Amino acid sequence: MPDTRDPRLLGQPPVATTPPHIRHYLMRLGVLLASLPFAALACADETLIELPDPPPEREQEEHDRVEEPDPEPPAPPVTSGDECVADSDCGDNAECEAGTCVGVGVLQVTLTFDVDADYDLHVITPSGEEIYFGNTAAAGGLLDVDQCIVDCGPGTHVENIYFNDGVEPGLYQAFAINFDGREGGAFRIEVSGAATTALDGVLAAEASARSTDLLWAIE
């Protein structure tokens, strides 16, 4: 039987043909894709979508954050018994006496001494109330500084009683006692405010040695 094929195709590889039902499917797919919006086509191609970088870890944020230094805490207020150089070193209603802040009020009684011994200041009010280390507050008065309970070394030492809420009228009495008698020596009791007076004396180096009384009256 003679070869009726086109001589131009002789020696060429056979050409694959698409079945009709496949061609029909591809045509319908092309129409469908052509009808989709551009954004949908872009989403269909994952290479066109750029995802944002993941947020940094919280730990990294904490590490990179610049730490602000904590503010310095305020200095504690200076109170009675604290060391001082001038009145301005002490708080309100206080003054510097022999290097120690002491309270001041309408009436103030201060004992100073230069010996290393436990001198104690006593004040008796007109109503008979005694203010001293064993009864630090009475009749509006307060013992706010009591030094040399133990060895306190050289220097001027202080005990102080002041009245800040008014004073009762009448006769007041003050004196000093050498409680432990470690040493003996000079002292001074000074009254200021509603009354002004002073007493200078010497206490013997024996326990419970007592000074003479300092008396004053307030009307």
Domains and CATH numbers, the chain: 17-64 (no CATH), 87-218 (2.60.60)
Please check whether residue 177 is in contact with residue 160, taking contact to mean a CB–CB distance below 8 angstroms: no
Single-letter code of the amino acid located at 149: I
Collapsing DSSP states into helix, strand and coil, what is residue 21? helix
| Closest among 101, 106, 217 to 160, alpha carbons compared | 101
pLDDT tens-digit series, residues 150-209: 888 889 999 999 998 889 999 999 999 999 999 999 999 999 999 999 999 999 999 999
- pTM of the prediction? 0.65
- Per residue in 114-153, pLDDT (tens digit) is 999 999 999 999 999 999 999 999 999 999 999 998 888 8
Q: Determine the longest span between alpha carbons in the chain, in angstroms.
A: 162
